[in-house]
């Protein structure tokens, strides 16, 4: 049986160079980065070098990069601290954000009594800028806008620059979950009006359990996790040195090879979209995921022409054939509920059809995509 991994939006294969760097860190640099002896100092130096590397690539300052356990923690930290420390009274977001944002906002609404407003979406799942502007104008409350750059289920790319300009114009803070974006797109935080961003290493061929938050200098945020002076006093807890250098290595390699790997993966997605359209009549790509310019090159979300009963067996059938993909975010895979993203943009009839997210990386091949489409075609014809 062939084994095909097409769930890269959930997590990615770790690069060999990253594994080697982490092995070296675990074997030779085991000092606590907070210790003052030579073992600790060597680890601390490497942590700070990783911070500088990331900051330089993003055109940020090292003090603006805070290491976290991943994107979920970073999103929680920023949103919670913005309400607690900055007096945010209203959060404007969308109903197709990652649950790391949506569930946090819901909790903040209960705990602090803040207002939560949802920007309208067009038929493809893009936030309507005119409605966003009307919400920003609505009253004089202190506002924070939280809109993700690349949607993790349908791949839509939000016009971050335009959102930033509106936030700047109306004096709102701007947070973006960039977990599906960092490592796949070039970023310059000085050219975009953005206050907060989040990233996770395992989305760009790094280790799980490590990520970072970009927090604009002098933001006024205070620590959420206390108990130590790590991360310049912003996040207590012994730094996972091996994970941090793994993150740095993955980050460096992602941007060193960004152009060539983007070209490779984009070609794979184009091939997959065309193959599905040719071989499976009635298949439809949700959102703008078939559009190579308006959606990320890393994933495609396809709705297949099967009835609900047959669709229930589809993911199991693919798994039995060695093909890994998903119905939506891996974070909700334990739930029987359907995709909250698709529920916002599809009709009830369309939701009855099975939709699958296929996400690609440089480790995939056209032969794997041929096999996947063939399996789908055979399933459709049985």
Nearest Cα residue to 220 out of 47, 83, 327, 374: 83
Q: What pairing do the DSSP bridges indicate for beta strands 65-68 and 211-215?
A: antiparallel
Phi and psi at 109, nearest 5°, equal -60, -40
CB burial string 88-115: b at 16+ within 10 A, e below: bbbbbbbebbbbbbbebbeebeeeeebe
Active-site position among 81, 167, 325, 331: 331
Q: CA 282 to CA 305: how far, in whole Å?
A: 5
- Are 15 and 253 a contacting pair, CB within 8 Å? yes
Active site residue 325: no
Q: CA 302 to CA 330: how far, in whole Å?
A: 17
How remote is the C-alpha of 179 from its chain's centroid? Answer: 3
- Are 195 and 174 a contacting pair, CB within 8 Å? yes
- Are 250 and 15 a contacting pair, CB within 8 Å? yes
Contacts of 257 (CB under 8 A, 6+ apart): none
Side-chain-side CA neighbours of 90 within 13 Å: the count stands at 17
Tell me whether residue 307 is exposed, middle or buried, using C-beta atoms within 10 angstroms of its C-beta: 0 to 12, 13 to 18, 19 or more.
exposed
Which residues are annotated as catalytic? 331
């Amino acid at each position: 049986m062939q084994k095909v991994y097409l769930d890269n939006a959930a997590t990615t294969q770790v690069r060999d160079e990253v594994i080697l760097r982490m092995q070296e860190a675990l074997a030779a640099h085991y000092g606590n980065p907070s210790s003052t002896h030579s073992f600790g100092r060597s680890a601390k130096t490497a942590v700070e070098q990783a911070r500088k590397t990331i900051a330089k690539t993003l055109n940020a300052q090292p003090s603006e990069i805070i290491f976290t356990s991943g994107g979920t923690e970073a999103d929680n930290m920023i949103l919670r601290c913005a309400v607690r420390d900055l007096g945010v009274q209203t959060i404007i977001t969308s109903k197709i954000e990652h649950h790391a944002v949506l569930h946090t906002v819901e909790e903040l609404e209960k705990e602090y009594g803040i207002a939560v407003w949802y920007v309208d979406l067009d038929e493809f799942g893009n936030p309507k800028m005119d409605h966003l502007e009307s919400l920003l104008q609505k009253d004089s409350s202190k506002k924070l806008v939280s809109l993700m750059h690349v949607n993790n289920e349908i791949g839509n790319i939000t016009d971050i620059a335009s959102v930033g300009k509106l936030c700047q114009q109306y004096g709102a803070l701007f947070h973006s979950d960039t977990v599906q974006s960092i490592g796949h797109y070039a970023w310059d935080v000085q050219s975009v009006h953005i206050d907060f961003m989040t990233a996770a290493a395992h989305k760009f061929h790094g280790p799980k359990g490590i990520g970072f938050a970009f927090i604009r200098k002098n933001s006024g945020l205070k620590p959420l996790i206390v108990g130590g002076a790590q991360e310049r006093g912003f996040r207590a807890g012994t730094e996972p040195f091996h994970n941090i250098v793994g993150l740095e290595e993955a980050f460096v390699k992602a941007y060193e090879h960004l152009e060539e790997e983007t070209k490779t993966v984009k070609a794979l997605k184009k091939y997959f979209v065309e193959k599905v359209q040719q071989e499976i009549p009635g298949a439809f790509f949700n959102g703008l995921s078939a559009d190579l310019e308006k959606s990320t090159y890393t994933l495609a979300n396809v709705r297949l022409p099967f009835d609900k009963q047959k669709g229930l067996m589809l993911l199991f059938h693919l798994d039995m054939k060695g093909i890994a993909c998903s119905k939506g975010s891996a974070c909700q895979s334990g739930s029987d509920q359907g995709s909250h993203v698709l529920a916002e943009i599809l009709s009830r009839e369309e939701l009855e059809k099975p939709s699958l997210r296929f996400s690609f990386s440089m480790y995939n091949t056209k032969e794997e995509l041929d096999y996947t489409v063939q399996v789908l075609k055979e399933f459709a014809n049985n």
